[in-house]
Copies of this chain bind each other. A is one copy, B any other.
Amino acid sequence: MTSTPTFTAPDAAFVEDFRVMSQFGATENGGVDRQAATAADGEQRRWLTGLLEARGFTVKFDRAGNQWGLFEAVSGAPFVVVGSHMDSQPTAGRYDGAFGVLAAAHAAFRLVEKWAGGAASGKPKFNIAVVNWFNEEGSRFKPSMMGSSVYTGKLALETALNTTDTQGITVREALDGIGCRGDYDGPAASYCAEIHIEQGPSMEHDGITIGLVQSSWAANKYEFVVHGEQAHTGSTVIADRKDALLGAAMLVVAARELADRFPGVLHTSVGELTVYPNSPVVVPSRVNLLLDLRSADESVLAEADALLHQRIPAIERAANISVERNHSHSWPVTPYQTEGVELAAKVAADLGLSSKQVMTLAGHDSINMKDLVPTVMLFVPSVDGISHNEHEYTTDADIVAGLAMLTEVVNRLCNGVLED
C-alpha cells in the first residue's frame, strides 16, 4: 500500500491527496464512516471546497446538497460533469465513490492547467464541472443516489429534503447542519464521466486495468413489512403466536434459496432488517426489511420475482403473519451510450492501458446521468473484489492509471469528440 517512487509529481500529489482525504471519518481498521450529511461528510466537503478553490474553481452547493466545482473556460458554454460521491456506508472502504470524486478533481486540474498553456493547447468547447453527489449510498437516508436523482429530475426536491433518518432528522435539517444546502440549480450538462472501483473480482482476475462499463444489471428492490402480534415469549403458546420475526426470517432464507436456484446469474440480499419492539421477552409484532433481486438477465429476474411472490402466501400461513409489500423500486438492464464506451476503449488503447467491457451490478450516479446526457462510466480493479468493507483496496498504480484514463476521456469530451 506504499506509493511507488516512480510516480510523476502530479501523480504523487494525487496519491497524497487520497491519503489525506481518507482521514475524514477514518475508522480504526483502515476504513471510513462518512454517512451522508454527518459531521465527517461535512468536514470532507469543506476540505474539497478548499482543494477546488485553490485551483481557481468556483464551488457551489445546489438545493439537493450536491457539491459543484465549476470552471468556465468558455463563457456560457455547457459543462462536462465529472465526479462521483464522497459519502460512505458505515464502516466502509476508503475507495468506493471518494476515489472517483478526487480523480475528477485532479483530472479537471490537469485540463485547466493545459488550457492555461494558451492557444497551442487549443480552447475546449465545453466547460468542466466536478461533482460530489449527495447521498449516493442511501444508508442514512433512502433512497440511494438521492442527489443525482434530484438533479436528473427523477426525484422531487421536496421529497428528498423531507426524507428522515431513523432519528427523525430530515435531509433538509442535516444538510443545513453541515452548511451544505445551497440555492444553486446545478450547471447545464452536455456530457458526463465517472470513475469508480469495480467492487467485484472480474477485472483483477483477468488482469485488466480499465473497465468500460457498457450496462447495468436489472434490479427489483422491495420493502416488505411483516405484520404479527406482540405477545409474551415465555407464556404465549406457540399455536397462538403471530411471530413477525419468524416470517421475516423465512423471507431471508427464501431469498437465498432463489439465488441458489439461478447460480451465478441472480444476486439476492436482505441488507436491512428492523424488528419491533425488539425486546428479549416479546414476540415481535412488526419487521421491516429490504429485499433485492438483481440479474444481468431480465428473464431470470422476472422468473425469480414470480417465484418469490408465489412463496409469500406459504410463509404467511407457516408463520401466521401477513406480508405487506410497502414500497418497490425496479430498473431494467440499461446500456450506457455506445459512443461513450467506444470513446473510452480508444482512449485506453491510446494510453496503452488494458481494458474490457464490463457490466455494473451496483448502482452509480452515472446510471441516473446517462438518461440525461451521454455518459462514460469507468472502473479500476478492486483487490479480491472486496467492497463496502474496511478492507476494500485498489493499488496506487491502478488509481493513478484510472486518473490518467479519466483525464483523457474528459479532455476529449470537453473538446467535443462526441459532437458529430
Question: Which residues on A are within 8 Å of B, measured CB to CB?
Answer: 89-91, 137-139, 142, 144, 198-201, 217, 219, 221, 229-238, 240, 243, 245-246, 248-250, 252-253, 256, 259-260, 263-264, 267-275, 277-285, 290, 292, 294, 319, 360-363, 385-390
A281 pairs with B249, CB closer than 8 A: no
A232 pairs with B279, CB closer than 8 A: no
The verdict on A235 contacting B144 (CB below 8 Å), with A253-B249, A292-B280 known, is no
Q: How far is the CB of A323 from chain B (nearest CB, A)?
A: 15
21 contacts between A and B (CB under 8 A): A139-B277, A139-B280, A139-B282, A142-B280, A200-B237, A201-B237, A230-B389, A231-B387, A231-B388, A234-B294, A236-B267, A238-B259, A250-B253, A253-B253, A273-B278, A274-B278, A281-B292, A281-B362, A281-B363, A281-B388, A285-B389
A217 pairs with B234, CB closer than 8 A: yes
Q: How far is the CB of A145 from chain B (nearest CB, A)?
A: 11
B279 pairs with A387, CB closer than 8 A: no
A230 pairs with B91, CB closer than 8 A: yes
Q: How far is the CB of A280 from chain B (nearest CB, A)?
A: 5
A277 pairs with B90, CB closer than 8 A: yes
B200 pairs with A235, CB closer than 8 A: yes
Q: Contacts A201-B237, A233-B292 given; 15 further ones with Cβ under 8 A?
A: A89-B277, A138-B279, A139-B277, A139-B279, A219-B234, A231-B389, A234-B292, A234-B362, A235-B362, A238-B264, A269-B283, A271-B278, A272-B278, A274-B275, A282-B388
Name the residue on B nearest A384 (C-beta): B240
Query: With a CB–CB cut-off of 8 A, which chain B residues contact A290?
Result: 280
Cα–Cα distance between A248 and B248 once the two chains are bound (Å): 11
A281 pairs with B89, CB closer than 8 A: yes
Q: How far is the CB of A357 from chain B (nearest CB, A)?
A: 16
A270 pairs with B282, CB closer than 8 A: no
Cα–Cα distance between A259 and B200 once the two chains are bound (Å): 41
Cα–Cα distance between A348 and B345 once the two chains are bound (Å): 90
Query: With a CB–CB cut-off of 8 A, which chain B residues contact A360?
Result: 235
Residue in B90, B271, B278, B279 whose beta carbon sits within 8 Å of that of A283 in the complex:
B271
Cα–Cα distance between A294 and B238 once the two chains are bound (Å): 11
Name the residue on B nearest A360 (C-beta): B235
